[in-house]
Structure 1
Amino acid sequence: MALFLSENDVKQLLTVEMALEGVKSAHHDLSMGLAQDTPRVRSRLPQTVLHMLQGALPAQGVLGYKAYTSNRSGNRFLVHLFDAASGRLRAVIEADYLGMMRTGAASGLAARLLARPDASVAGVFGAGWQAEGHVRAICAALPLQLVKVHARKADKLHAFCERMTAQTGVNVVPVASPEALVRGSDLLGTVTTAAQPLFAAEWLESGVHINAAGSNSLIRQELDEATIRRCDLIAVDAVPTALAEAGDLLPLLEKGRLHARQLIELGDILVGRQTGRAAPEQITLFESQGMAIQDLAIALRVLNAAEQQGLGQVLPY
């Protein structure tokens, strides 16, 4: 029996803790050789782009893919989840909210692994849909006391901060400038569609951790070369994905100023194969591109919860 889960179903079921646990399990399985992930591919038309991510989590009993279209009218996301043993379709899940929570959870996991344990002040660039998941995840991952947010639209920014304060219980406040956001922050997040770097490297505090989540193509860049060169450690969700999509890193890789062997996969830090932060003063960076196995792991947990609570519609095939 295959289920269809709508956006409303997913919103009822999916928690930040569930998303964090799902993403953690996906990275663990990948680093232990228990998962397969295929980097995103795209089919482009003048008006619409189809994006596809696929992967397998055999240790968790599933494989599948996320497909989504982007168009001026909006984006549409669907996860197809299959049973790994039988190939049987288990679920089709609308995945806009799921994807937002997944992206945030990846940054939350990276913050747990790489930020200083005493980090209390975060700064986040962006007040859009994806920034919501980011703020919720970092507040769940670390004992933050203050989150500063900067965005271009002041009215949207203030409403975002009020909503995030209510949802997280952490004081989330607007700031007027990029410099005010960066200075004094123990943790930084960039969750934008920027084509130009968002801040100057000299503003960074010693010991800061950066989660860069918005630059997933050559036309997007949130961090400048000076910032990346200040980082003592650069983590990625998967090296093949970073080499294909990390707009912040690709110019340095092309120039030979950064090498693929310098990139560390987040899962390898999680399982202890690679060292994470080695000293409080180090500056660390996580470049997040997104992986199918992250979506699949969260989708599986959402499906299990839906089956327990009797939510969803039975599909006629």
Structure 2
Amino acid sequence: MSLIERAADKLSKNEISNSIPGKIPQTVKTGLDPLFLSDNMSDQKIGKEVSVNNSPVVDLANRASANKKTIKKIEIDLESLHRKGIVTLDHSRSEIAEQFRLIKRPLIANAFNPDSGIKNGNLIMVTSSLSGEGKSFCSINLAMSIAMEMDHRVLLVDADVARPSIPASLGFSPEEPGLLDLLRDPQWKIPDVMMKTNVKKLTLIPAGRRHTHATELLASQSMHSILAELAQRYHDRVVIFDSPPLLLTSEARVLAGQMGQIVLVVEAERTTQQTVKEALQQIEACDVINLIYNKARAHSGGGYYGYGYY
């Protein structure tokens, strides 16, 4: 009998015979988690283990490896974004790039300063009172600007589940699985709905497939758990939620109570003071509310994005 045959015979007698058919052998239960096998062993090594040991643990590892979802990557047309007025790495000295540098700085300070006292400060919701005020434009610009940071990453979540506009802006299908799918099916995990981009430090989570009970899903315990995981597991990352308008839907009000910071976009010369007051009343549960005065004209031919705290 060869050395390999003797080893196989010994393994078969000492380990597999003590296991219950269809169950994980006791000797393996106390060792390496089988779910890590696909990450720590080559396919060739796993194949050899199957032929010698015939352990159900190895079969489980193979199934986990086969079913593991890979993070999708999309290519954003950065030149097209630049023409639309979006901040890009290749045009980082533009006027709008400088404006969003001013906007992001206090947000980042609040997110990562342990003395700020802000719970979940890295969760930032961008919203507006009404539609058309530029909240998605500001969400994307803010995300692109933060992606230029040396020490932080950014996750942009399309939480405008009724009328998502980020897919059209960044060039991916609105039918991609996303936030609502994550909330509806407990088998989905956050990495399953993430989308990498050609912007190194920018990752996306789409809105997902529409659901008639979107508001209830956003208010569920599942959403609370997801937000807690985003705030703690991805602690080096700013998470930006592009939410629906406050006065047109109920989803934004549900999200507001769970955010660390809120940015309210106000369109110059259109949004009335009374409208802004009504919107602020909807989000008063959040301690840190910031205003962007959007589409104002500081001088002829130039755009200006004012910023302040409420």
TM range (shorter): under 0.3
Larger radius of gyration: 2
Using the size of structure 2 for normalisation, the TM-score is 0.21
Using the size of structure 1 for normalisation, the TM-score is 0.21
The structure in which a higher percent of residues are helix is 2
